[in-house]
Chains A and B, each alone.
Chain A
Amino acid sequence: DAGVIQSPRHEVTEMGQEVTLRCKPISGHNSLFWYRQTMMRGLELLIYFNNNVPIDDSGMPEDRFSAKMPNASFSTLKIQPSEPRDSAVYFCASSPSAGFNQPQHFGDGTRLSIL
């Protein structure tokens, strides 16, 4: 079974550039989550979707961050313009349904470096 697929695995870009991270959740999963991992704060939830609808985006750090889920099999996280402090590993996760005590399944992450 295919797990959560994220692309790219690594992204290095200069500050000010637009960055787009992509995620394909596990087929049949209704909930999708975007996390950012840093040494100081561990795994922080940025936003999550249920049935393609954003439910909670309170973790999105600034207006420079936006996320979309146009259909059940695809989501993007965009940073525009990017800044060096955005450098982190970004994970996407999916679960059969949010809020029903279901473990989340994570992708392998995108390591983002903003120079």
Chain B
Amino acid sequence: DQQVKQNSPSLSVQEGRISILNCDYTNSMFDYFLWYKKYPAEGPTFLISISSIKDKNEDGRFTVFLNKSAKHLSLHIVPSQPGDSAVYFCAANPTGNQFYFGTGTSLTVIP
């Protein structure tokens, strides 16, 4: 059973526009969430995180929003750039335990 779900396998966005990647989770004990970015033939790299005590965290062009009641988080990239084209994984962690990863969303930013 996937405890973290990314229901959109792919997304295409025009350069300069907003990219919104979504993630849903099932376990209300999850209290720390992360987004990773992965280029082909490389390992995932950490992008941004959010603790369950917050509903928003911003780092430059990247903002993560957390809606605990809906068990939903999203990653906003504004403005999107061609170099943002990659696979994005969301992950969730109940304190003191392993991370659970989604299946990833492949983002293509069209120049």
Judged by a CB distance under 8 angstroms, whether A115 is at the interface is no
Q: What is the number of residues of chain B that contact chain A, defined by CB distance less than 8 Å?
A: 26
- Return the CB mask of A77-115 against B: 1 if under 8 Å, else 0: 000000000000001010000110101111111000000
Cα(A106)–Cα(B97), bound, Å: 18
Return B90 CB to nearest CB of chain A, in Å. 10
Cα(A4)–Cα(B46), bound, Å: 13
Q: What is the number of residues of chain A that contact chain B, defined by CB distance less than 8 Å?
A: 24
Contact A43 B44 (CB under 8 A): yes
Residues facing B in A37-92 (CB within 8 A) are: 39-45, 48, 56, 91
Chain A residue numbers with a CB within 8 Å of B102 are 42
Contact A42 B45 (CB under 8 A): no
Chain A residue numbers with a CB within 8 Å of B100 are 45
Closest-by-CB residue of B relative to A101 is: B32
Contact B46 A99 (CB under 8 A): no
Contact B43 A91 (CB under 8 A): yes
Residues of A within 8 A of B (CB): 4, 33, 35, 39-45, 48, 56, 91, 93, 98-99, 101, 103-109
Residues of B within 8 A of A (CB): 2, 6, 32, 34, 36, 41-46, 49, 51, 89, 91, 93, 95-104
